[in-house]
Amino acid sequence: MSASTHPGTETLLRYAAGTLPAGPRLLVDVHLEGCPECRATVARLMSVGGALLEACEPLALAPDALDRALARLDSPSTRRNPAALHHAEAAGATPPKRWPLPEGLKLPPGVVLPPAIASRRIGRLVPVAPGVRLGLVHLEEDPDAQVLLFRIAPGRAIPQHTHAGLEFTHVICGGFSDPDGHYGPGDLVECDADVDHSPRVDDDGECICLAAFDGRIRFRGLLGMVTRPFL
């Protein structure tokens, strides 16, 4: 089986339905910014969902339903919806702020952070293993979300780890391989909890990538002890 470099159908369904947790949702946002194919799929899923809602029998609304709907419209996750953002920018609204690059992150010439990430505060990148640095991406809407920015030297492996649910990895620059295939810039890789893997970065350059998890992540051995305070 060849590896998929797009989010799975179930992930896109959960994204469209608003049930994907904040961390994986952010990685899908990043992928959608660069993938017209998946944007079209999400738009179709959202229109199907809307048509299904219209076909449903009307239900009595809770007395505070309008207030809650208005509050959601103003929530950070709604504001960050790429479609909503596009409308806001078209209407001349202030574009989202960009944070300075975190300490320890240097991007190759011509590479910029995806807008959905550049508008988030990223903690200092700390060395956690030979050739591996990671920083925590802060999500206002879910302070407990684990979204990690990795900077990994050529030929190094992403340290061995296990996770309770799905793991999502998005490549910003460089590339890596696992037994299923090779992944490059813009690719999003999903792995389930059964996979105990240690993907290896290409020999010809650093890899900068993002990782998010449906469940909690644990690294093995010494790295597990090093990362425990901030994971």
Q: Provide the binding-site residues for Zn ion, judged by CB under 5 A.
A: 6, 35, 38
**Closest CB 38 distance from Zn ion, rounded Å:** 3
Choice between 39 and 218, CB closer to Zn ion: 39
**Closest CB 182 distance from Zn ion, rounded Å:** 17
**Closest CB 16 distance from Zn ion, rounded Å:** 14
Choice between 35 and 152, CB closer to Zn ion: 35
User: Which of 1, 36, 42 has the alpha carbon at shortest distance from 179?
Assistant: 1
Choice between 35 and 148, CB closer to Zn ion: 35
**Closest CB 37 distance from Zn ion, rounded Å:** 5
Q: Residue 221: which region, alpha, beta or left (left: phi > 0; alpha: psi -120 to 50)?
A: left
Choice between 34 and 224, CB closer to Zn ion: 34
Choice between 30 and 201, CB closer to Zn ion: 30
Contacts of 45 (CB under 8 A, 6+ apart): 12, 13, 16, 17
**Closest CB 188 distance from Zn ion, rounded Å:** 7
SS3 readout for 123-165? CCCEEEECCEEEEEECCCCCCCCCEEEEEECCCCECCCEEECC
The DSSP secondary structure of 90-124, one letter per residue, reads: HTTPPPPP-PPPPTT--PPTT----HHHHTS-BPP
Q: Which two tokens stand for residue 180?
A: 């299923």
**Closest CB 209 distance from Zn ion, rounded Å:** 16
Helix (H) or strand (E) holding 64: none
At residue 49, the 3 state secondary structure works out as helix
Choice between 4 and 77, CB closer to Zn ion: 4
Q: Are strands 200-201 and 176-178 parallel, antiparallel or unpaired?
A: antiparallel
Q: Which two tokens stand for residue 131?
A: 């050739």
